Structures are given as C-alpha cells and as structure tokens.
Homo-oligomer: A and B are copies of this chain.
Amino acid sequence: MEKIKLLIVDDHPLILEGLKNLLAEEDAVEIIHMCTTAYEVIEAMRTAVPDVALLDINLPDVNGIELCARIRKEFPSVKCIALTTYSQRSYINKMMEAGAAGYLLKNASKTEILTAIQEVHAGGMYLRVKDDGAQMEEENSPIPTLTPREKEVLALIAEGLTNPQIAKKLYVSVLTVNSHRKNLLHKFEVSNTAMLIRQAVVAGLV
C-alpha cells in the first residue's frame, strides 16, 4: 500500500517540527512538503502534488481559508484538513465552505490526526472539535464575508489611515471610503473602529 503523501503548512516552525516528529515514525504517511506560507504551498504543489494537506488558518500571507479554496480549485485531488487553534463554529463553517475535508484542533492527539488523515484520504470527512473549556471566550465571531474592496479599506484602516487618506490612496471619494467603512461596521456588527479592528485582528484579516 502506498504511503499517503502529506503537505503541512504552519507559520510556526516548531509546530511543523512537532508534526514531523509525530508523524515520522508512522509508515502510513509520508511528509513530502513542509511550508510556512501559502505562497510556498502553491509552489510546492506545482512540483509534487500531495494527497492530503494540513492547513493552519493563521498564515503570514493568505489565510488558510482562502488557501484551502485555492487548493481545491487548482489541485482538486488534494484533500485539505484544517489544523488550527480556533474552535469557533464560524471558522469551521468557513473552512468547510472552502472545501476542507477535515478540521482538527491543535490539541488533537497523534492518533486523532492520523485517523483524520486516513479517513479523509479514503474520501471521507473528519471533524472533531472537542471543547476543552479553555478558549470559549470568543464563541461569537460572525466572520463576515468581505468584498475585495472592503478588505482593502479594512487593511488601510488598520494601518491607521483616516478616510481622507484612504480616499487619496485609492483614488476614490471620501464618501466612498465612508460607505465601505459603514458597511464594514455593519458586517462585523460593531459600532466603532476599536471593535472593528479588534475583530479583524483576531480573525486574522489584517
């Protein structure tokens, strides 16, 4: 029986290391790529396509959700499993919507990770998020879907630019920027910039 070819991506090298050690002695799987950015993932896949990809959600360049969607589009044969610290329903939904076949928390056990990989590779789906009671503070994060323009504006707001400055930078009217800003506030269901930015940061959108 062929070994399952794995790609793992995480921005923390130590987590990669941990996974490598965890999976190295298993002969059912074989890690063919270890990446720390979404860019590396796509590059790596062009050279050798894995069977399963373990994806972190927090990546420096693109977030794991978008990365998953992209993988599903460019390499439909690759099964994606989210491996993250977030147990929020919204993340799970987004990830599944993006085409993920599995979802694991980083405190998952070795056997659990292995089971997930195998079941997913066999065409199944695996999702287990056991509530350890530790991080249930952020249970309510809608994570709205933003348009490209809104993301752009949000990023600039987070960088500290004011509406006039953003308008100048994007070559649009201040009124337009203000509209986007208002829409952002609505989508995030918040009433001021402080809440908006905090939500955006914890959601990894900035």
**0/1 interface trace, chain A 177-194, chain B, CB 8 Å (1 if under):** 000000000000011111
Chain B residues positioned under 8 Å from A97 (CB to CB): none
10 smallest CB-CB distances across A and B, nearest first, come from A18-B18, A160-B195, A21-B21, A201-B201, A17-B18, A197-B197, A13-B107, A14-B18, A14-B15, A14-B106
Which residue from B13, B22, B157 sits with its C-beta under 8 Å from A21?
B22
Q: Is there an interface contact between B12 and A17, defined as CB atoms closer than 8 Å?
A: no
User: A158 near B: Cβ within 8 Å?
Assistant: yes
User: A135 near B: Cβ within 8 Å?
Assistant: yes
User: A128 near B: Cβ within 8 Å?
Assistant: no
Alpha-carbon gap, A30 to B201, bound state (A): 37
**0/1 interface trace, chain A 9-39, chain B, CB 8 Å (1 if under):** 0001111111101100000000000001000
Alpha-carbon gap, A49 to B189, bound state (A): 47
Copies in the complex: 2
Alpha-carbon gap, A18 to B23, bound state (A): 11
Say whether chain A's binding surface is mostly helix, strand, loop, or mixed: helix
Interchain Cβ contacts under 8 Å between A and B, 6 examples: A16-B18, A18-B18, A18-B21, A160-B191, A193-B194, A194-B196
Chain B residues positioned under 8 Å from A159 (CB to CB): 194-195, 198
Q: Is there an interface contact between A21 and B17, defined as CB atoms closer than 8 Å?
A: yes
